[in-house]
Amino acid sequence: MLKIIVCVSGGGTNLQAIIDGVEKGAIRNTRIAGVISNNAGAFALERARKAGIPAYCVSPKDYGNRQAFNDAFLEQVNSLAPDLIVLAGFLVILPEKMIQAYRERIINIHPSLIPSFCGTGFYGLKVHEAALARGVKVTGATVHYVDEGTDTGRIIAQKAVEVLESDTPVSLQRRVMEQAEWVILPMAIDRIAAEHTEDSVHKKREGCK
């Protein structure tokens, strides 16, 4: 069983796709051990509570400096002992110590086809504004591992979405979420859970020899 935690900052529609995926069996061998937000007002926390998932807020506003927040955030993550950390609309730069401690065990959903429209300053609607300004005919979403860079980790999955002449940043964001993000993030977690389960079975067999 893959134990995951989901880090959120906003509305939590990607979190909801994960919750629904686990409940409906689209995401197998997975348990959501907790949801952590940096934003006490994030509706994503309501989504977690409604689903009976432990919800925590670790807000930078409650700490005197960045280091104190980083330490408290990492302590909250460690207390849940996740196999996988999922960043779903999470707008906080992760502490370096956390990336080192969870190497290849943190994934993120980004609302473009990386390497387009990504990196510092490209988040939320800004990504779609840039895609429309450039005039691309296709955009989409990417799930990738998180490393020390911004949106630079190894790509796990991508899904393309057509850009319509009539699109606004809001209409494009909605279609990318519906047709790409909410599809590939659950699929990526299901795939990682399958590998995790196979590894566990293999280790047990090895241990029995």
Stretch that binds ligand GRF, among 7-15, 67-75, 93-101, 187-195 (CB under 6 A): 7-15
In this chain, which of 60, 95, 124, 169 binds ligand GRF, going by CB under 6 A? 124
Q: Is 110 annotated in the active site?
A: yes
Cα-based torsion angle of the residue sequence 67, 71, 77, 79 in order, rounded to the nearest 10 degrees? -170
Q: Is 181 in the site for ligand GRF (CB under 6 A)?
A: yes
The interface mask with ligand GRF, positions 89-118, x = CB under 6 A, is: x-------------------x-x-------
In this chain, which of 5, 6, 13, 92 binds ligand GRF, going by CB under 6 A? 13
In this chain, which of 114, 140, 173, 196 binds ligand GRF, going by CB under 6 A? 173
Q: Kindly report the CA angle at 113 between 173 and 109, in degrees rounded to 5?
A: 65
Q: Sign (positive/negative) of CA torsion 12, 27, 145, 33? A: positive
Are the CB atoms for 12 and 18 separated by under 8 Å? no
DSSP state of 60: G
- Give me the active site residues, please: 110
